[in-house]
Structure 1
Amino acid sequence: MCSIIDESPVAIGNGKVGTETQLSTPFRGVLDVRFEPGQTLTVKGIVGEKARQFSVNLHSRTADFSGSDVPLRVAARVDRAKIGLNSMVNKVWGKEQRKGHSLKPGQPIDLRIRAHDKEFQIIIDGKEFKRYAYQSPLQSITHLSIDGDLAIQQIHWGGKVYPVPYETGLPHGFPIGKCLKMSGTPSLRKGGRFEVNLLRKNGHIALHLNARFDEKAVVRNSLEANEWGNEEREGKMPFERGHCFDLVIANEANHFGIFVNEQHFANFVHRSKPEDIFGLLIQGDIELTGLEME
């Protein structure tokens, strides 16, 4: 049982907390918008060198364990190589659901909690770990707490249910210096493909990024005057079927910088005016879970 912390909780909107400096535990946060299906809470950090356990908890009304409901508790028992899922409703803890999972002290962890219509999906280091049915209403979640032996590097909350194909305009364009950030999970379908297209006003494509699992390649190209240019396909396939990823496309002065899971993947030299981008189209064998401009 964690002790009650009197410190004021940190407000967490749809965005990130702690991208430049580590956040310490115990951590207490308040969500300024209620949890809804399609949203994902991401916690990235480093497991302590002498870690025994840490937990990520979603609360109703207060970020403590004084009696308010705890719709979800993810308890990582590093010393036992197990992770337990549980909830407290009306001051009574349920039966913990445990599953083996090896967490190495001193190593990074990417923990994601995605809300669906009837259950949470727990994702660890890009791979689904377990699903946990709601024991109390999703909309009752108002607070977050993190305790134990975890050095928090980033907390991110956002997303929604996106239909695929997904096409949207970019009202303010895609100016140089901005980054397009996308999260998703490629389908398990063998030989699947998905693509991300940056659209110009005239309907042409400034950047076509096509992940082809059947070819084990990520093809980059552009469409100008209704003709495709020369393909670029250097680099190993950075995506895995069934594993979630973070993709960042940075609009630089001379090129698009492409990053996958915080690692540089490729550059694509501009073949048209970089400021002439006003739309985005994502389609193919993918579940889109997050999208934002920064």
Structure 2
Amino acid sequence: MLVFFVFLNNRLSALKVADYSNLNYFGPLQSIPYLGPIYGGVRVGASVYIQGSVPENITRFRINLLCGESDSSDVALHFNPRFDGWDKVVFNSRKDGSWMSEEKIRRMPFSKGEAFELVIMITSKGFQTKVNGKDFFLFPHRLPVEQIRAIQVSGDVSIQTINIIGAAGGGGALPGGTGGGYPGGNMGQGGYPGGHMGAGCPDGMGGRYPGSDMGGGFPGSHLPVREKLSNIGIIIVSYSCFLMFFSNFYKPVQGMAGQPVYNPPVPFSTWIPGGMLPKRTIIIRGSVPHGAQRMGFNLVVSRTRDVAFHMNPRVQEGVVVRNAQTGGQWGSEERQLSGSPFAEGQYFDMSIRCGNQRFKVFVNGQHLFDFFHRTNFSEIDKLEIDGDVQISYVHF
């Protein structure tokens, strides 16, 4: 049996959870520079998902994937954006105390004073980086990924969350004492680090977020940029543990109009503020855990319980089934696609756009399919998500 660790105010609570392969933990608040362990390491197919922001006066910051838990450890990946008049991002590795040759990418995907979303996907060929939903650079492996044991962050940056998805798993004690609860809130009331899940967003609401139309600022951007690693949650998660734990303590989160929801438990349901209208877009970001079978994304008419749009990625089959249910009866399935973007251990960024005649679905910036309306879309008032999926962000 493994142990599920939850930190609160730098204290440790251990809750026993059976039958899962990856350790899920939330780190305590730390000051930058930060160095934290990745228990069990990572593997090909894992992703590191980071949300943060950089100040107006940024010079540089760095994110290192370390092959140990100290500053002197080998570095499998050194990711180093530099604002120095010749803006660039430097990639490198360090072996036996010596840095190797630098890869300098003379493009800057980060903007001064703005929020960012960074995904580092560990592929068989290297570290594929994506910034704000766009592919940036593939850095080839120089050291075995199986040696990675920690993540390090330093420099001019504020980090809100770090999620390590699809880690290799394993256990191990974390330092700490006793405590309880869940960071930043009351379990029975749906607390989440720095805010209230019922209110939809940790640290209150700022506004503009990459890929949305929220306008000005960033949630939590009022926190010190260089001194605090604000509300950091390092998550190594398996679906069975995630569902088992949160189903005992949380009710589905009801997102408020105009506010995103971060890291909700699955099954998840929320009212759609104002219902579905032409040009309304739903943004859903998440990942597919290893061993996933299928998941469901439903747009529902709560009055009749009709499912106006049902999207059912079946991971092992490599298909995405679409359908609708009216009067308790399912219609004809739609399956035609050249492939599915929903694969084990992979991150996804999906948008569902409502038009007068159909829904248009985009995944990872690519148009995936259209689904023509079979019911009156204006009556849709609820989003439901269930199955083998981890959700990090939902916004209307």
Does 1:121 pair with 2:223? no
Match of 2:82 among 77, 82, 100: 77
How many angstroms apart in 2 are the aligned matches of 1:110 and 1:83?
Answer: 15
Counterpart position of 1:157: 164
How many angstroms apart in 2 are the aligned matches of 1:176 and 1:78?
Answer: 42
Tell whether the 8 Å contact from 1:30 to 1:63 is kept in structure 2 after alignment: no
Q: 1:222 to 1:56 in 2, by over 3 A?
A: farther
Q: 1:49 to 1:222 in 2, by over 3 A?
A: farther
Counterpart position of 1:269: 381
Does 1:86 pair with 2:88? no
Q: Relative contact order: is structure 1 or structure 2 higher (C-alpha 8 Å, sep ≥ 6)?
A: 1
Query: Residue 76 of structure 2 aligns to which amino acid in structure 1?
Result: P
Does 1:97 pair with 2:97? no
Tell whether the 8 Å contact from 1:24 to 1:152 is kept in structure 2 after alignment: no
**Residue 130 of structure 1: CA displacement?**
0.7
**Residue 184 of structure 1: CA displacement?**
6.1
Tell whether the 8 Å contact from 2:324 to 2:331 is kept in structure 1 after alignment: no
Q: How does 1:42-81 map to 2 (within 5 A)?
A: 42-64=49-71, 66=72, 68-79=73-84, 80-81=86-87
Instruction: Give the secondary-structure state (helix, strand or coil) at the position aligned to 2:354.
Output: coil
With the length of structure 1 as denominator, give the TM-score of the two structures.
0.58
With the length of structure 2 as denominator, give the TM-score of the two structures.
0.44
Counterpart position of 1:201: none
**Residue 44 of structure 1: CA displacement?**
1.3
Match of 1:183 among 261, 272, 286: 286
Instruction: Give the secondary-structure state (helix, strand or coil) at the position aligned to 1:101.
Output: coil
Match of 1:227 among 319, 331, 341: 331
**Residue 120 of structure 1: CA displacement?**
1.0
More strand by share: 1
Tell whether the 8 Å contact from 1:81 to 1:101 is kept in structure 2 after alignment: yes
Match of 2:150 among 138, 143, 147: 143
How many angstroms apart in 2 are the aligned matches of 1:237 and 1:78?
Answer: 38
Instruction: Give the secondary-structure state (helix, strand or coil) at the position aligned to 1:139.
Output: helix
Q: 1:13 to 1:97 in 2, by over 3 A?
A: farther
Query: Identity of counterpart residues, as a percentage?
Result: 22
Q: How many residues align?
A: 215
**Residue 43 of structure 1: CA displacement?**
1.5
How many angstroms apart in 2 are the aligned matches of 1:108 and 1:36?
Answer: 28
Q: 1:47 to 1:196 in 2, by over 3 A?
A: same
Instruction: Give the secondary-structure state (helix, strand or coil) at the position aligned to 2:146.
Output: helix
Tell whether the 8 Å contact from 1:69 to 1:88 is kept in structure 2 after alignment: yes
Tell whether the 8 Å contact from 1:38 to 1:115 is kept in structure 2 after alignment: yes
Tell whether the 8 Å contact from 1:17 to 1:155 is kept in structure 2 after alignment: no
Query: Residue 104 of structure 2 aligns to which amino acid in structure 1?
Result: R
Instruction: Give the secondary-structure state (helix, strand or coil) at the position aligned to 2:57.
Output: coil
How many angstroms apart in 1 are the aligned matches of 2:167 and 2:112?
Answer: 33
Match of 2:310 among 195, 204, 208: 208
Counterpart position of 2:47: 40
Q: 1:70 to 1:171 in 2, by over 3 A?
A: closer
Query: Residue 122 of structure 2 aligns to which amino acid in structure 1?
Result: A
**Over the residues paired in the alignment, what is the CA RMSD in angstroms?**
4.5
